[in-house]
Amino acid sequence: MDSIVVTGGGPLKGEIPIAGAKNACLALMPATILSEEPLTLTNAPRLSDIKTMTTLLQSLGAEATSLQDGQVLAMSSHDLTSAHADYEIVRKMRASNLVLGPLVARMGYAEVSLPGGCAIGARPMDLHIFGLEKLGAEIDLRDGYLHAKAPNGLKGAEIPLEFASVGATENIVMAATLAKGTTVLTNAAREPEIVDLVRCLRAMGAQIDGEGTSRIEIQGVDKLSGATHQVVTDRIELGTYMLAPAIAGGEVECIGGRLELVESFVERLNAAGVEVEETQRGLKVARKNGRLKSVDVTTEPFPGFPTDLQAQIMAMLCTAEGVSNLHETIFENRFMHAPELVRMGAEIDVQGGTATVTGVEKLRGAPVMATDLRASVSLILAGLAAEGETVVSRVYHLDRGYEHVVRKFEGVGAKIERVKA
């Protein structure tokens, strides 16, 4: 099993290119099921999760080809042969459930295994099922599979979500594009990845209004056409690399970064003593002179502070002056990185959904273990500021969400290498 070795040292300087958004791409790819015509995605991230979704689409009879070193995905669902999303594929990645809505809308039926994913808490399918049933689908659970059918097609409906679920919003919006009549989705999630999906669907001929707000209205159409769409910048990768100079010192320009994607995150960085400047090519980040200040963080759905950056900012706050309180409101079990940071000398007390971090002068390198995708990169960030060598094991999680992570850190002067098992 591979590990990543980080040697803490001097400040970082240079630029880091930010990839297309994993979470956006994983929602955009199933959209190909909705049309018989080709869908091409550019600026695609080169990640294992993308390969998993490619395999899933191919198992349904779709054509999915990676071009230009993986940054272009050419897909076509003109001849789907199956509506069965097999457990052996779906268990590897939670986003596999996003084929459910498109399959029911296009083929009138679907058999989709209950999904897998990482160990940061239960994320049930209740809202996905609720929304599709409102559209007229009949769904039951048998032998670990969701069996859905809509023999007479889907029909528009009023769908009030109990919680602003990103995945449920995506599944329902895609299904509603081919439903008869108008669908109004309230308490919809507002994340940039949903805005990106709607822009793609609109380019395919869908009639949708309200993306980026809590009310999305979809007027169903008879069919969708093909399109070419550029995947939005990955705001989580962006925030992660913005933290590198904040933790290690120095100045880094994140190419492709956009402030509107990370405003709540940047507000917390500014409060801690980190400068963020918009440039013509992205965002430039530098730590002000002196020690960082403690800040409190509460994770919330967009436009609030993203849960997917909580582990990374915790690494930064481990050496900030004072006491920081991090409140996790999205997922349970999302402080599993805290004990590993404690191994590096951090002072962290976890009580339920709150982690209290008392800043220390210095972290110390240590052998640590990644427990999930974002935890793994938080330990690398901590290693940048630690004295000595940090060895992060179980880094296969990284490959799900960060492309060329070692190369990007090396490009700004970090002492980092990946060691094969």
Do the annotations mark residue 22 as ligand-binding?
Answer: yes
The set of residues, in sequence order, having a beta carbon less than 8 Å from that of 405 and lying 6+ positions away, is 4, 377, 380, 398
Distance of CA 274 to the CA centre of its chain: 24
Say if CB 53 and CB 16 are below 8 A apart.
no
Do the annotations mark residue 124 as ligand-binding?
Answer: yes
Name the one residue in this structure whose structure tokens are 């949708």.
208
Measured distance CA(346)–CA(382) in Å, rounded: 10
Do the annotations mark residue 2 as ligand-binding?
Answer: no
Phi, psi dihedral angles at 26 (to 5 degrees): -70, -25
Report residue 124 as tokens.
Answer: 């049930």
Do the annotations mark residue 308 as ligand-binding?
Answer: yes
Residue 254 a catalytic site member:
no
Say if CB 314 and CB 378 are below 8 A apart.
yes
Say if CB 179 and CB 105 are below 8 A apart.
yes
Measured distance CA(284)–CA(273) in Å, rounded: 14
Say if CB 165 and CB 189 are below 8 A apart.
yes
Do the annotations mark residue 372 as ligand-binding?
Answer: no
The four Cα atoms 15, 21, 25, 27 give a dihedral, to 10 degrees, of 180
Do the annotations mark residue 94 as ligand-binding?
Answer: yes
**Cis, bond preceding 303 (omega within 30 deg of 0):** yes
Phi, psi dihedral angles at 391 (to 5 degrees): -115, 115
| Segment holding 309, helix H or strand E | none
Based on C-alpha coordinates, what's the Rg of the chain?
22
Do the annotations mark residue 291 as ligand-binding?
Answer: no
Report residue 387 as tokens.
Answer: 């004295």
Catalytic residue among 25, 118, 200, 254: 118
The set of residues, in sequence order, having a beta carbon less than 8 Å from that of 111 and lying 6+ positions away, is 83, 84, 85, 145, 146, 147, 148
Residues flagged as binding site for phosphoenolpyruvate:
22-23
* Residues contributing to the annotated binding site for UDP-N-acetyl-alpha-D-glucosamine: 94, 123-127, 308, 330
Active site residues: 118
